[in-house]
Structure 1
Amino acid sequence: MSVESNDHRTRPRRRGDALLTAIYEATIAELDEHGYSELTMERVAERAQAGKASLYRRWNTRAALVMDAVHHLLPDPERSPDTGTLRGDLLEVLRQSAAMLDGPAGSALRGLLAESLPDPEHGRLIRSRSQGRGRRLMAEVTRRAVARGEIHPGAVAGPRLEVGQALLRDHFLFREGPIDDAFVVEIVDTVLVPLFHVPVARSEPG
Structure 2
Amino acid sequence: MAERRRGPALEKALLDAAWEELTTNGYARFTMDAVVQRAGTSPPVLYRRWSDRDALVRATLQHVMKGALLDIPDTGSLRGDVLTLMREINATRVELVTVMSVQLADYHRATGPDAPHGPLVSGRKEAVDVLYDRAVRRGEARRERLTDRVRSLPFDLLRHELLTTFAPVPDDVLEEIVDTVFLPLVR
Relative to the length of structure 1, the TM-score reads 0.66
Find the counterpart in structure 2 of residue 107 from structure 1: 102
> Amino acid of the residue matched to residue 144 of structure 1?
R
Find the counterpart in structure 2 of residue 178 from structure 1: 166
How far is the alpha carbon of 1:69 from its aligned partner? 1.3
The 5 Å alignment of 1:187-202 reads: 187-196=177-186, 198=187
- Structure 2 SS opposite 1:58: coil
2:45 to 27, 42, 54: 54
How far is the alpha carbon of 1:13 from its aligned partner? 3.0
> Amino acid of the residue matched to residue 72 of structure 2?
P
2:131 to 132, 141, 144: 141
What do the CA deviations read for 1:65-87 (whole angstroms, capped 9, x no partner)? 12221222225899633151433
Find the counterpart in structure 2 of residue 119 from structure 1: none
Higher RCO (CA-CA < 8 Å; seq separation 6+): 2
Provide the rounded CA distance (Å) in 1 between the counterparts of 2:11 and 2:179. 39
- Structure 2 SS opposite 1:181: coil
How far is the alpha carbon of 1:91 from its aligned partner? 3.0
- Structure 1 SS opposite 2:133: helix
How far is the alpha carbon of 1:112 from its aligned partner? 0.5
The answer on 1:19 being equivalent to 2:3 is no
Find the counterpart in structure 2 of residue 42 from structure 1: 33
Aligned CA distance change for structure 1 residues 35 and 81 (closer, same or farther; 3 Å):
same
How far is the alpha carbon of 1:181 from its aligned partner? 1.2
Corresponding residue pairs, total? 177
Provide the rounded CA distance (Å) in 2 between the counterparts of 1:169 and 1:27. 24
5+ residue gaps, structure 1, are 117-121, 199-206
Aligned CA distance change for structure 1 residues 51 and 22 (closer, same or farther; 3 Å):
same
RMSD: 3.3
Provide the rounded CA distance (Å) in 1 between the counterparts of 2:79 and 2:106. 33
The answer on 1:32 being equivalent to 2:23 is yes
Aligned CA distance change for structure 1 residues 188 and 19 (closer, same or farther; 3 Å):
farther
- Structure 2 SS opposite 1:125: coil
Provide the rounded CA distance (Å) in 2 between the counterparts of 1:131 and 1:58. 24
Relative to the length of structure 2, the TM-score reads 0.71
What do the CA deviations read for 1:140-193 (whole angstroms, capped 9, x no partner)? 22123345x262453663332232344356567xx7442641344432232223
Give structure 1 regions of 4+ aligned residues with deviation exceeding 6 angstroms: none
- Higher Rg: 1
Identity of aligned residues (%): 27
> Amino acid of the residue matched to residue 129 of structure 2?
A
| Preserved contact between residue 87 and residue 188 of structure 1 (Cα < 8 Å) | yes
> Amino acid of the residue matched to residue 9 of structure 2?
A
| Preserved contact between residue 45 and residue 52 of structure 1 (Cα < 8 Å) | yes
Provide the rounded CA distance (Å) in 2 between the counterparts of 1:161 and 1:56. 38
Find the counterpart in structure 2 of residue 130 from structure 1: 118
